[in-house]
């Protein structure tokens, strides 16, 4: 059952024909924002995969638009509704029409409502509540002909069906990962095994797979459920894609890496995250090394001896917690700053990361200002510790 407080607040905003934003915050620090116009929800933001979600909807409903070529300016990223601005930018360039804008907006609102409802439903078991805040000052201008009550009815029906199918504790934003390939090969056909190996690599969420395979996410999840229950497949958390490359508005990037400058390592299997960090770091006259394979991380760290390490939390085979523990056991890196990259900035993650020796957290998607301030802070502290030991 969906939280009554949540439903009441959504309905109240509709009944009073509210215009503005409704911000919803959970005790874990997760935020969602719904943009109302005359009582109708016309846009929504928040959750753990904002760019992955937008990219998925564009690929599904805006054929001909290459989401990999989308670029945003730093000014675009200053607002919470950057995804709305991106969509209206495509519309302004006549790359998509008003019907496509409407369909993408409806799909995003429906996804976010489902995720929020599932999250509040699980947390209500522990007595947790939502915090609501309305702001009438921010009003977006986007036509949406779907009544809010229709969204709510759809969300309640989808959540009930999802739970009744045995999926109550599984998120459609989690990614299936083939945990026991050798054992699975013995019980399925060669064709099924090939599909599992190629698709269940821990990089595509259930929703991503639904779009790739042109099936409903419920159908995908139900088909995998027996393999999950028998331990062949595991659902894991995955990070969001990095935001589209930011176009420089002033000074050009400095491509050359300066000798003897700090060497920054990034252990992350996402090419987009590594590319974004490399751009930020090298343009600020620091050296950069990317390590996409966690299995090879320790040997490469020992070879290159970086001064600072960015470490992804969710990776196939070895997760960030395990790898951080292993790195800290090496005396060379006992005081090296290790900053966790994660799309889920919850209290439990922070506590666990501290226990295994991490220095700090940076939330995805990575933003230049946050990356640079974190680097300056911990490189200074690291240098002070090194001088104190001399």
Which pLDDT tens digits describe the chain residue by residue (390 residues)?
455 688 889 999 999 989 899 999 875 567 889 999 888 999 999 888 888 999 999 999 998 888 777 776 666 666 778 888 888 888 888 899 889 999 999 999 999 999 998 887 754 544 456 788 998 877 777 766 678 889 989 999 999 999 999 999 999 999 998 888 888 889 989 888 888 888 898 889 999 999 999 999 999 999 999 999 999 999 988 888 877 655 444 333 333 446 678 999 999 988 878 888 988 888 888 999 999 888 888 888 998 999 999 999 887 777 888 889 889 988 899 899 999 987 766 666 677 778 888 999 888 778 888 899 899 989 876 554 444 444
pLDDT, position 267: 94
Instruction: Say how far apart CA 365 and CA 383 lie, in whole Å.
Output: 28
* Residue 308, beta-bridge partner list: 264
Collapsed DSSP state (helix, strand, coil) of residue 92:
helix
Element (H, E) at 58: helix 50-61
pLDDT, position 321: 86
List of E strands, 187-275: 233-236, 246-247, 263-267
* CATH T-level fold of 251-389: Rossmann fold (3.40.50)
Sign of CA dihedral 211, 216, 218, 222: negative
Q: Residues for the chain: how many in total?
A: 390
Phi, psi of 262 (to 5 degrees): -55, 140
Alpha helices in 251-307 (DSSP H): 271-282, 297-304
Is the CB of residue 268 less than 8 Å from the CB of residue 262?
no
pLDDT, position 123: 47
Closest CA to 11 of 158, 149, 117, 118: 149
Sign of CA dihedral 31, 34, 35, 37: negative
Instruction: Say how far apart CA 76 and CA 85 lie, in whole Å.
Output: 7
Burial grade of 5 (CB within 10 A; 0-12, 13-18, 19 or more): middle
Sorted by sequence, the CB contacts under 8 Å of residue 206 that are 6+ apart come out as 170, 171, 172, 173, 174, 175, 176, 217, 220, 221, 224, 235
* Residue 340, beta-bridge partner list: 311, 361
Element (H, E) at 223: helix 217-229
What angle do the packed helices 98-124 and 148-162 form, to 10 degrees? 50
Neighbouring C-alpha atoms within 13 Å toward the C-beta of 212: 12
Closest CA to 382 of 341, 335, 343, 339: 335
List of E strands, the chain: 20-25, 31-37, 40-46, 72-73, 131-135, 175-178, 233-236, 246-247, 263-267, 287-291, 308-312, 338-342, 360-363
Burial grade of 386 (CB within 10 A; 0-12, 13-18, 19 or more): exposed
Is the CB of residue 202 less than 8 Å from the CB of residue 316?
yes
Instruction: Say how far apart CA 332 and CA 343 lie, in whole Å.
Output: 29
Name the token pair of 10.
């959504």
DSSP single-letter state for residue 117: H
**Per-residue b/e over 363-384, b at no fewer than 16 CB within 10 Å?**
bbbbbbeebeebbeebbeebee
Whole-prediction pTM: 0.62
Is the CB of residue 22 less than 8 Å from the CB of residue 33?
yes
């Amino acid at each position: 059952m969906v939280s009554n407080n949540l439903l009441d607040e959504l309905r109240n905003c509709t009944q009073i024909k509210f215009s503005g934003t409704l911000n919803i915050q959970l005790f874990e620090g997760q935020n969602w924002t719904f943009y109302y116009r005359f009582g109708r929800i016309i846009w929504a933001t928040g959750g753990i995969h904002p760019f992955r979600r937008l990219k998925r909807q564009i690929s599904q409903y805006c054929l001909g638009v290459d989401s990999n070529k989308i670029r945003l300016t730093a000014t675009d990223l200053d607002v919470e509704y950057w995804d709305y601005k991106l969509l209206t930018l495509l519309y302004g360039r006549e790359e998509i029409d008003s019907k496509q804008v409407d369909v993408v907006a409806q799909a995003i609102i429906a996804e976010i409502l489902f995720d929020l409802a599932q999250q509040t439903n699980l947390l209500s078991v522990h007595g947790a509540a939502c915090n609501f805040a309305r702001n009438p000052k921010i009003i977006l201008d986007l036509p949406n002909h779907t009544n809010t009550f229709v969204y709510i009815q759809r969300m309640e029906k989808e959540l009930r069906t999802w739970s009744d199918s045995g999926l109550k504790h599984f998120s459609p934003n989690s990614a299936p990962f083939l945990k026991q390939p050798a054992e699975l090969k013995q019980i399925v056909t060669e064709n099924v095994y090939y599909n599992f190996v190629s698709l269940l690599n821990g990089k595509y969420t259930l929703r991503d797979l639904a779009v790739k395979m042109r099936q409903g996410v419920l159908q995908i999840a139900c088909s995998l459920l027996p393999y999950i229950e028998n331990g062949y497949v595991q659902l894991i958390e995955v990070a969001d894609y990095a935001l589209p490359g930011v176009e420089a508005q002033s000074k050009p990037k400095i491509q050359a890496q300066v000798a003897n400058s700090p060497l920054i390592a990034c252990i992350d299997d996402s090419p987009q995250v590594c590319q974004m960090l490399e751009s930020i770091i090298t343009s600020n006259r620091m050296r950069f090394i990317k390590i996409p394979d966690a299995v090879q991380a320790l040997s490469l760290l020992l070879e290159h001896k970086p001064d600072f390490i960015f470490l992804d939390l969710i990776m196939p085979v070895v997760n960030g917690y395990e790898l951080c523990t292993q790195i800290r056991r090496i005396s060379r890196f006992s005081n090296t700053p290790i900053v966790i990259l994660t799309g889920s900035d919850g209290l439990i993650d922070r506590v666990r990361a501290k226990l295994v020796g991490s220095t700090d957290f940076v939330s995805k998607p990575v933003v230049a200002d946050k990356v640079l301030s974190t680097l300056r802070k911990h490189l200074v502290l690291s240098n002070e510790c090194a001088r104190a030991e001399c």
